[in-house]
Amino acid sequence: MGVSLPAFADNLLGLYVGGGIGESHVRSDTGGFSNLNGFVENRTAWKALVGVRPISLLGAEFEYTDFGHPGESSVGPIPPGFIYNVDVSQKATSLFGVLYMPLPLPVVDLYGKAGIARLETKLNASWRCVAPVTCVANPSYQQDSTDSRFAYGVGAQAKFLALGVRAEYERISAPGGSPDLFSLIATWTF
């Protein structure tokens, strides 16, 4: 008779963690400053995520993304003699369902993801006089909003044992400013 050892299942859920960095596009309307025609700035962004992949085709991810905190100051052409300042911060926590494309390559994955994001946007905008013109007031605008919005993304992943390297694009659809992010992510599967 032979002696058998008990079998242990390792990581039945396919649990993984990861973090990444990339370039975001922070977008926001300017709250009534129609002369500014909205605000779009590129910034360095980062994200942290935890995910599960219980079967090869399906998974889920929870992530936190900081899209950056850009600001801009410029002398506005309309009205002359005024300078405007805009400062925007966008952050999100998201929950995604992930669908992996079946490929005959064991090292490469292509995937799409869709879910919901809780997007926090903080906007400060103001104008001030810089020339000898008559200023009645220095108008300013502040907006703090938190919205639950649809989020989606696509990506490609290369896996080497427990380490994965991803290139990914994701976007949150939000009125008044839809941030997006191109990122490189490293993951570790337990």
How does pLDDT run across 91-116, given as a tens digit for each residue? 999 999 999 999 998 899 999 999 99
What pLDDT was estimated at residue 65? 97
**pLDDT tier at 80 (50, 70, 90 boundaries)?**
low
**pLDDT tier at 139 (50, 70, 90 boundaries)?**
low
Question: For residues 70 and 42, what is the distance between their CA atoms, to the nearest angstrom?
Answer: 8
For residue 135, the one-letter residue type is C
Quote the tokens at residue 46. Answer: 């980062």
Asked if residue 6 belongs to a domain, the reply is no
* Total tally of structural domains belonging to the chain: 1
Compute CA 56 distance to the chain's CA centroid, rounded to the nearest angstrom: 25
Asked if residue 4 belongs to a domain, the reply is no
Percent of the chain with pLDDT over 70: 73
**pLDDT tier at 184 (50, 70, 90 boundaries)?**
very high
Q: What is the CATH number of the domain that holds 85?
A: 2.40.160.20
- 42 versus 59: the higher-pLDDT residue is 59
pLDDT tens-digit map of 1-16: 344 444 445 678 999 9
8-state DSSP, 171: E
Asked if residue 167 belongs to a domain, the reply is yes
What pLDDT was estimated at residue 1? 39
Question: For residues 113 and 94, what is the distance between their CA atoms, to the nearest angstrom?
Answer: 11
- The residue range of the domain holding 167 is 16-189
Residue pair 98/53 in contact (Cβ under 8 Å)? The answer is yes
pLDDT tens-digit map of 22-31: 999 887 665 5
Asked if residue 9 belongs to a domain, the reply is no
Say what the pTM is: 0.79
Question: For residues 94 and 63, what is the distance between their CA atoms, to the nearest angstrom?
Answer: 5
